[in-house]
A and B are shown apart, each in its own frame.
Chain A
Amino acid sequence: MPARITLPTLSVISVALMAAAVTMIFFVAPEDADQGISQKIFYFHVPIALTAYVLFGLGAWKALRVLWTRGERYDLESYTAIHQGTIFGALTLITGAIWAKASWGVWWTWSSNQLVLFLVLFLFYCAYFMLRFSVEAGPRRERISAVYALFGVALIPVSFLAIRLASDFIHPTVFTREGPQMTGTMFGAFCVAWAAIVVLALVMYSVELAGKRTDAHLRELREALGR
């Protein structure tokens, strides 16, 4: 990421956006006529899910760069993006489960395609870490991780399609979350919340990346100092 905006600035923006988002969600946006207050979960759940996709995509993009240029730098970036994506994926699953409980009375429903997709992706990307930690550090690991990350972005649309198809024969009853159209302020709150989550993800990504880079530099220093 080009460092035109420094990390401290980004953090401040993140805090401001998050405050604005919470204000908009709870004090400006009206309560949903249909679902009542539990619809408020939507303002965080959906942006978190979308951000997780962005992070997985970012990880795959950096993975492509690894394969093109063979650089440890891109490997760390890809790894960090996928790590963040997995965290946001886990959050999507948990907030989704809470929402399912609030609106349908069950903690899990296989008829919510998005949730099922996230479960598959979560399992897939957890295996990424198992794979990564089982291979010795080096160019081979960088490339294996990169190939696996690329498989991930292919798996997202394919699984999406599969889950859509599966819902035809596994559970014909369809719950839908598409409530009535969002009003202006509801949509505004959603957009602000999405921006807040994306910036939060960026901050977390940058901080983690800085930590991992420092780790790598330390390793180098230690070798240079002969320890």
Chain B
Amino acid sequence: MSGYVGDVVALARKDLLLELRARDTLPAMLLFVVSTLVVFHFALPQGAGDDAAYGLLWVALVFTALFGLARAWVPEREHAALDGLVLATGDRSAIWLAKTVAALAFLGAAEVVALPAFAVLFAPLDAAAVLGVVLASVGICVVGTLASAMAAAGRGREVILPLLVLPLSIPLVVGGVGASVSSEPRTYVAFLCLYDAVFAILSWASFEYVVTE
């Protein structure tokens, strides 16, 4: 098992180091999420209330995640490294897990900026809302990494990815918004956990079929 964990750690580390060196994704995501929030301020009519702002926060988060996921497999594609990686790694699901961890790290970093910015600019966030964001981020990275690998196999991947991820992220938005605005956030948090578990198992088990020739 240490071989599996070792693979995951090494691959995730590679992605993070690559990002630290090239700074391709994270600064763009940060700028994107803050710009989106500013646009939302002008999109919300006067006196729209906090609930509408919470809704828009979720739109911003989903699109920021998409923004990051679109670049998830770019390093491998640019150097045509995915096939080699698939051949070299014993268990292919390790590649998926590592990529998910890396995507989650980027999204998490963007959220570390976005959530305080949201709290300052719009409305306060309580613990349940933050928990909702964390769980939904896990879900969207789990599903998005796989969808991104699927989209990368075809032409027009930039166009396909949002089409694949948006319908899949609707339950996450429901759970996240519910955790933010409901007075009974526990149900929504439990629902997000369920989503994460179901789709993590499914993605983990099926990734191999997506990348092998």
Instruction: Give residues in A with beta carbon < 8 Å to B.
Output: 67, 120-121, 123-124, 126-127, 130-131, 134-136, 139-141, 143-144, 146-148, 150-151, 154-155, 158-159, 161-163, 165-166, 168-169
Contact = CB atoms under 8 A, between A and B. Distances in A.
Contacts of B209: 67, 143-144, 146-147
Contacts of B199: 151, 154, 158
B195 A131 contact: no
A141 to B, nearest CB: 8
Interface of B: 143, 146, 150-151, 153-157, 159-160, 163-164, 166-168, 170-171, 174-175, 177-178, 181-182, 187-188, 191, 194-195, 198-199, 202, 206, 209-210, 212-213
Contact of A130 (B163, B178, B191): B163
Given A135-B154, A163-B174, A158 B210 contact: no
B194 A135 contact: no
Given A143-B209, A150-B202, A165-B175, 13 more contacts: A124-B167, A130-B159, A130-B160, A130-B163, A134-B154, A135-B153, A135-B155, A147-B146, A151-B199, A158-B171, A165-B188, A165-B191, A166-B174
Contacts, number: 98
29 contacts: A120-B167, A124-B168, A127-B164, A130-B163, A131-B160, A134-B156, A135-B154, A136-B154, A139-B213, A141-B153, A143-B210, A143-B212, A147-B206, A148-B150, A151-B168, A151-B202, A154-B198, A155-B171, A158-B195, A158-B198, A158-B199, A159-B170, A161-B194, A162-B191, A165-B174, A165-B188, A166-B177, A166-B178, A168-B182
A34 B146 CA distance: 49
B27 to A, nearest CB: 29
Contacts of B163: 123, 126-127, 130-131
Contacts of B182: 168-169
A134 B155 contact: yes
A127 B206 CA distance: 18
Contacts of A147: 146, 150, 206, 209-210
Interface majority SS (helix, strand, loop, mixed), chain A: helix
B42 to A, nearest CB: 24
A130 B163 CA distance: 8
Contacts of A148: 150, 164
Contacts of B167: 120-121, 123-124, 127, 155
Nearest to B51: A169
A146 B167 CA distance: 17
A146 B159 CA distance: 20
A127 B150 CA distance: 12
Nearest to B211: A140
A162 B154 contact: no
Tell me which of B143, B168, B187 has the highest count of chain A C-beta atoms within 10 A of its own C-beta.
B168
B174 A144 contact: no
Contacts of B154: 131, 134-136
Contacts of B157: 134
Given A67-B209, A124-B168, A155-B168, A162 B153 contact: no
Tell me which of A127, A130, A161, A168 has the highest count of chain B C-beta atoms within 10 A of its own C-beta.
A127
B171 to A, nearest CB: 4
Given A154-B199, A158-B171, A163-B174, A140 B213 contact: yes
Contact of B174 (A131, A143, A151, A162): A162
Given A143-B209, A147-B150, A158-B195, A169 B178 contact: yes
